[in-house]
Amino acid sequence: MENVVINSNGDTYSNLVSSRQALIKVAKSTGELIGNYAGNLCATFNVVSATGELIKPWYELKGKDRQGLKLERDEFVKGMTEAGYGRGTIDVYWQRIKEASGYQTTGNRVTANLSTDDKTQAELKTILNRIFKAEEAGEDCKASEIKGILMNAFEHVGGNVDNLG
């Protein structure tokens, strides 16, 4: 086994410790800052009754009701972009803000207990729609050869082929 040399002179090690502590401090506060921003978004844009009961959270607003929120989102994107963050990072932070406001992502939602046939039907629909999309794009795929069999299976477990695509 080789001897590992660690540069542990005072300044180098002190810088390492300081940078680690700074990173930990910021990492810990990120959740708190997201929570604060989410709380302010809720206070500003949630639709509430006269008694303060939530009617519609900000992340469900549509159309005209969303105008102010759209401006705020644009300012958020602008600020993050100016700070050097890319679109992917910006979208991840926005998703975290939505979740801190009460939004439940699809994977985290409680779903009803689906039967095996219901799950199979849903998966067959996904597969068939993927094949249709590939065919529309002009792709030559082997799956097209068994599309009829898959459509029969989809119908057999309760699916309606007219609702595909």
pLDDT, tens digit, 9 for 90 and up, residues 48-82: 999 989 999 999 999 998 999 999 999 999 999 99
Which residue has 């930990």 as its token pair? 24
Which residue has 């057999």 as its token pair? 156
Residues 70 and 140 in one domain: no
Whether 5 has a pLDDT exceeding 70, the answer reads no
Domain count, the chain: 2
Residue 59 sits in which domain range? 10-104
Q: What percent of the chain has pLDDT over 70?
A: 89
Q: Is residue 1 part of a domain?
A: no
CB 119 within 8 A of CB 157: no
Residues 23 and 57 in one domain: yes
Q: Is residue 5 part of a domain?
A: no
Residues 73 and 19 in one domain: yes
Residues 35 and 68 in one domain: yes
Q: Is residue 2 part of a domain?
A: no
pLDDT of amino acid 159? 86
**What is the mean predicted confidence (pLDDT) over 127-151?**
88
How far apart CA 118 and CA 111 sit, in angstroms, is 12
pTM of the model: 0.54
Whether 3 has a pLDDT exceeding 70, the answer reads no
CA distances from 83 to 30, 79, 136 (A): 15, 6, 41
Neighbours of 37 (CB within 10 A): 17
Strands (DSSP E) found in 33-77: 47-48, 54-56
Whether 110 has a pLDDT exceeding 60, the answer reads no
- 47 strand-pairing partners: 56
Task: Report CA 56 to chain centroid distance, whole Å.
Answer: 20
Q: Is residue 4 part of a domain?
A: no
Residues 97 and 120 in one domain: no
Residues 90 and 157 in one domain: no
Greater pLDDT, 156 or 13: 156
Nearest to 124 by CA among 149, 101, 102, 107: 149
Whether 8 has a pLDDT exceeding 70, the answer reads no
Residues 94 and 40 in one domain: yes
Neighbours of 32 (CB within 10 A): 10
**What is the mean predicted confidence (pLDDT) over 91-97?**
91
Residues 100 and 56 in one domain: yes
Tokens, residue 125: 């629909």
Residues 137 and 86 in one domain: no
pLDDT of amino acid 109? 54
pLDDT of amino acid 57? 94
Residues 138 and 92 in one domain: no
Which residue has 């599309």 as its token pair? 147
